[in-house]
Amino acid sequence: MKILIIIALAFTFSYGTAQDTLSFEKVVQWDANPVESQGNTGTCWSFSAASFLESELIRMGKGTHNLSEIFIARQVYINKAENYVRRHGKTQFGEGSLGHDLLNAVDMYGIVPNEVFSGLQMGTEKHNHAELASILEGFLKAIVTNKGGKLTPMWKEGYSALLNVYLGEYPDNFQYKDKAYTPKSFAKELGLSSQNYITLTSYSHQPFYANFILDIPDNWDNGRFYNVRLDEMVETAKKALKDGFTLDWDADVSNNGFNSKVGIALQSLKGEKPNFITTAKEMDVTQEARQINFDNYTVSDDHLMHIVGMAKGIDGKNYFIVKNSWGDDRGLEEFKGHILVSEAYFRMNTISILLHKDALSKELKQKLNLEN
């Protein structure tokens, strides 16, 4: 595994020309596959979690693999449909999901390389699920409002046929690097299992060090989150990156402190908008302030990305290097496709982080009753 460490003052990346221009020293950045684009889809969760698993495979010495994000999205569309129908349409349905949904789908269905299943049909080059998502939801609404009053299993075949047309059929067998696999045997050979991972969050409306179902719209599968104190969540993220791990990050990106075009995210003071050129004062984010913004809907689960490293700003602050899935044509020159996220922004806007259990400190494992 390669690690990039740059000594202070040796090399900086800047935006602007003023004396207090924001500039960054890369402290650590772990290997990850090139930035991709999710296109016109709501599948950031699959792109971020697949990227996270690709880095995990590199970390574990399994080599470099380009995993299919849309294969997993296809299978999760099936799980969401079954959930929607069983709940008589009284639940969330759409393109959004969370990182643990990809891990659970890998357990259930396996995984394939992108070269086996791209999800691009009819010669298209960019992902676009707008039409598909509308058709799927319309189909399911027709099923649950069936005036016949009784469902038959046939709806599943009709639903799967739509996925086959728009995304492609489930590959029962495939060849990869001169070897035959099924999706499940490929996942097994790679050593991927949801049991090795954990999702942390930090909210005071639930007991700390317990796990609970976080009530956010995209948690349609009622995934459980381990609740830790805010400082512990931040320190866990930094420790993980220091020790060679990366993280799957669920966060709010709807506020004026997040600028993907420039490639910087800052937690501005109330009523102020940063210019993203010069250093700026940021809010001191407490557990209480974080809870208030979650409860009043200021912070919600907008977007998932992949945290791959840390940088130090000229202002002396810590920044997370975050790989996005909106293409590589935006951001600072040396961080194309990435966002430099300040620690203050991370403290306020993080919904959760997903990471390998081995990245947790012994003390935190004990608090969460994860010690064997």
Q: Is 343 within a domain?
A: yes
Neighbouring C-beta atoms of residue 36, cutoff 10 Å: 20
Q: Is 159 within a domain?
A: yes
Domain membership of residue 183 as a residue range = 13-367
Measured CA distances, 155 to 140, 147, 232, 306 (Å): 9, 14, 47, 36
Q: Is 4 within a domain?
A: no
pTM of the model: 0.92
Q: Is 8 within a domain?
A: no
**Beta-bridge mates of residue 307:** 247, 322
Measured CA distances, 355 to 92, 246, 337 (Å): 26, 7, 22
- Does residue 4 surpass a pLDDT of 90? no
User: Does residue 65 or residue 148 have the better pLDDT?
Assistant: 65
Instruction: Tell me what the pLDDT averaged over the chain comes to.
Output: 92
Q: Is 265 within a domain?
A: yes
Neighbouring C-beta atoms of residue 270, cutoff 10 Å: 5
CATH number of the domain to which 326 belongs: 3.90.70.10
Residue identified by tokens 């050979």 is 189
- Does residue 9 surpass a pLDDT of 70? no
Q: Is 6 within a domain?
A: no
pLDDT of residue 123: 83
Q: Is 372 within a domain?
A: no
Q: What is the pLDDT of residues 148-201, one digit of tens each?
A: 778 888 999 999 999 999 999 999 999 999 999 999 999 999 999 999 999 999
Q: Is 7 within a domain?
A: no
DSSP H helical ranges for the chain:
44-59, 69-86, 99-109, 130-144, 154-166, 183-190, 230-242, 287-295, 343-349, 362-367
**Domain tally, the chain:** 1
Please check whether residue 66 is in contact with residue 190, taking contact to mean a CB–CB distance below 8 angstroms: no
pLDDT of residue 372: 59
* Rounded percentage of the chain residues whose pLDDT exceeds 70: 94
Across the range 300-328, mean pLDDT stands at 95
